[in-house]
Chains A and B, each alone.
Chain A
Amino acid sequence: MSSERVSLRIPQVSEPAPDFEATDVDGCIVALSQHPKPVAPVFLRHLA
């Protein structure tokens, strides 16, 4: 929870999706560029 201001931009339809590489909770590497598509990235808010 930082008060640092970050300039952020939400990617819009038809723009290239920002690529990323991350490790999932099972320890496997997930890279968007290598992942089967179409794909739905869902960014959750806080966990209730």
Chain B
Amino acid sequence: MSFEPKILGIACNWCTYTGADLAGTTRLKYPQNLRLIRVMCSSRINPSFIIRGFQLGADGVLVGGCHPGDCHYGTGNLYARRKLAITRKILEFAGMEPGRFRVEWISASEGNKFAEVVGEFTNQVRTLGPQTKFKITKDGQ
């Protein structure tokens, strides 16, 4: 059987999650590898969520938020951008493949973009193969 990656998606309620909703209601097709978690704002994302995601078996993590300047709370995604940028550098320096982590700004009207990004990212992670570096392998975890 070919490898099917598990993708953890963390999406902001106001833009990306609504964009995903739009992709659904307009019946766009995108891979079912994505497990989407909704948060109220991309700045709510603690970088430990991403590390924990990888530890619990995610092969890739996709973070979605509003376009800079479009945040529902004004400036949340501007803080998030700094946090996620440094998270990316930390993952890279620890030895994680940079292709397994991606941040995209997707607005509520961009259902097409959502489907495209998920498709593209899933293919990218599929070519990278299973993520084994951070994954917890011992029993009972």
Answer yes or no: do A and B interact: no
